[in-house]
Amino acid sequence: MPPHTARVGVVVIGYNDHTHVGDAVRSALAQGPAVAEVIAVDDCSTDGSADLLDRLAADEPRLRVVRRSVNSGGCGSPRNAGFDAVLAASTEANAEVASGLCVRRELPSGREQPWQEPLYTTHTVLARPSQHPRRQSRDDDRTRGRTTVPLTPSGADSWSAELAVHLAALGAGTWDLRLTVRFADGAQREVTAHALTGAGRLRRRAVPSVRHGVLLVQPYATHSGALAVRMATGGGGVARVAAGRLRRLLH
């Protein structure tokens, strides 16, 4: 589309961050008419963050607030809720959609990790629009990893389940583990896996891979304690991780 008609939507997520979430929303809106809509997703806050967002939305037609009824324990679920809202709006309006660079910042360390970096570092010039699909999304079975496993009793009032993750299918990037528990009566609840610390639990390791040659896998706990996995594929990916670690050690 012509540059002067291109507009963007911004997804802002937050949980119990009354001090900063308003500033984040106002900062996005302050970018001017290029921002068509800001979708603020509140992850079931208890500090009044959602009410603050509602008050801002009452005076700002470009702001839409999405309230989650259950806290996810991480960043992936509220982010996906925002993406779902964007895709639903684009489908309803039959609008073309393109996604831009996404960076996750880990707190309190401040480390920034690009999300699916190869999507944004590989540039393509198309001679005509017909060479490009109308819409693509990373929100698919590969990124969400839909797999069903049964629960087995583990003690008097608890259950357990083992889920094998096909790491080679994920590829390079940072991934959250999101779970849905389904009950016999048809009810279901979204939950986030929490990382368990201890000797050898959250340890980086190299895993042989037929597809990539080698996978460098680092499970870690996010700032909220949720379990995430950082992946580097192939010799090039391992070399980039090693170079980054060396730079941090030298500085």
Entry pTM: 0.48
Domain residue extents for the chain: 3-99, 161-250
Q: Convert the pLDDT of each residue in 60-97 to its tens digit.
A: 999 999 999 888 877 778 888 887 888 888 788 777 76
Mean pLDDT throughout 146-158? 78
Q: What is the CATH number of domain 3-99?
A: 3.90.550.10
Query: Cα(93)–Cα(36) distance, rounded to whole angstroms?
Result: 13
Nearest one of 93, 105, 84 to 17, comparing CA atoms: 105
Between 125 and 32, where is the model more confident?
A: 32
User: Which pLDDT band holds residue 145 (cuts at 50, 70, 90)?
Assistant: low
Query: Cα(230)–Cα(232) distance, rounded to whole angstroms?
Result: 7
Q: Write down the residue that tokens 């991780």 correspond to.
A: 241
Q: Convert the pLDDT of each residue in 188-226 to its tens digit.
A: 887 777 888 888 888 888 888 888 888 898 888 877 778
Nearest one of 153, 225, 152, 151 to 181, comparing CA atoms: 151
